[in-house]
Structure 1
Amino acid sequence: MKIIILPTYNERNNLAELLALIYNQVEDIHVLVVDDNSPDGTGELVRELMQQYNDRLFLLARPGKLGLGTAYIAGFKWALARDYQYIFEMDADFSHNPRYLTTFMTEAETADLVLGSRYIAGGGVTNWNMFRRLISRGGNVYARLILGLPFKDVTGGYKCFRREVLEQIELEDVKSNGYSFQIELTYRAFLKAYSIKEVPIIFEERAAGQSKMSKEIFREAIIMVWKLRAAKNRLKAAPFKEIHSAGTSLAQP
């Protein structure tokens, strides 16, 4: 079974169309919307759409805006309490195109974690100015160098996990809540020697609404990578599953 965790805050204008595209791409996939009490009525729309999509769409309603990282953690725990074997992260603003879902699922047959990458051959971004491109590229290089990660894109939020990865990376101990959350999850999986594969995606800047990037999120990412580096031995020493190979897509610490 497969499920997409879709955090939302004021995404009512995007959601119906996005869900239609997702289900058109992968008919048997499930979606869990984790809504932080959106003032625009996103949660109410999900409840209406649940009648249309029956047992393929679910809502986890939270009392307020609690942050991206905690939304994903709540969604992961919900999925792990059920029989989902493949668990996706995806944005609700069309920046992550559903057309890549089938590629993710193909690669997940031989990799424990699949990363959507803007910075490998075939990947890229649209509608970003030069400053935004430099910030993103620089942030990736910064995190990769400090943490010793071999991947080209460690800040992206389009991913597919095998359930055992999320079961073993100690979700209760994840402290990041902004974009550094994406770095932390990948780093924890890397330290536990799970096989990780990057696949190219074109990141499409959101068509409606407001970007989630802020100075606070950027500042958290700068500090968090040093905290993760300092905790490397503890994170690596925690119990983890037996290592297995995924052929040429394997990335080991």
Structure 2
Amino acid sequence: MRRVLVLGGTSEARALAAALAVEPAVDVVSSLAGRVREPVLPVGEVRIGGFGGVDGLSNWLRSNDIDAVVDATHPFAARITANAAAAADRVGVPLLVLRRPEWVAGPGDRWHPVADLAAAAREVPALGHRVFLTIGRQGVDAFADAPGRYLVRAIDPPEVAMPADATLLLDRGPFTVESEIALLREHRIEVVVTKNSGGALTSAKLDAARELGLPVVMVARTPLPKRVPSTANPDDAVAWASGRA
């Protein structure tokens, strides 16, 4: 049996685990960071919680006889990706990163690309006072001292400082364009702030912003570690993890 660790927490990771679970020569275990209180669990064996950095993950890979690792975490989970690359290299276990494609601006989009959340917080005041902050709960503190009125949407409440004038909306996608337009109008939003996570689960906010002519501050992804192979094709990840590619 080929034992595969899937670093998950995304829809892509759940689909990958389901596909690998029916591979006759693959034993798959999924790992979730445990940052969401009620995560959607994949099929098969699941562990929840951190590994304890590079050392902890290296030891876990050895002690659990892992033959391959697929990092299918969120595109902005830069720390676990870096740790996975370092641990896999140390132990000599092959690693593949599965990442959904980035969103790409199209006709009618008013995107303002920025490098990180700190840059986003500096960009916002010139674009609008009423801000829809849809970056998840991590990193919200980058806007703690930023002027403006904020609608903050996340799955779980942030555990960091929030903007002084903020309304918290707890919700989980997928969302429709119609519901996103209604939300933006209800709160009289003037600018949207999001991360370029890609995927269809939460892309409706971008369609809604385009429809309403709103600017979008788009936070770029952190580049992957050097020399780490990656794919955006789930079928390629299944073939690789099962040893067929």
Larger CA Rg, structure 1 vs 2: 2
TM-score normalised to the size of structure 1?
A: 0.30
TM-score normalised to the size of structure 2?
A: 0.31
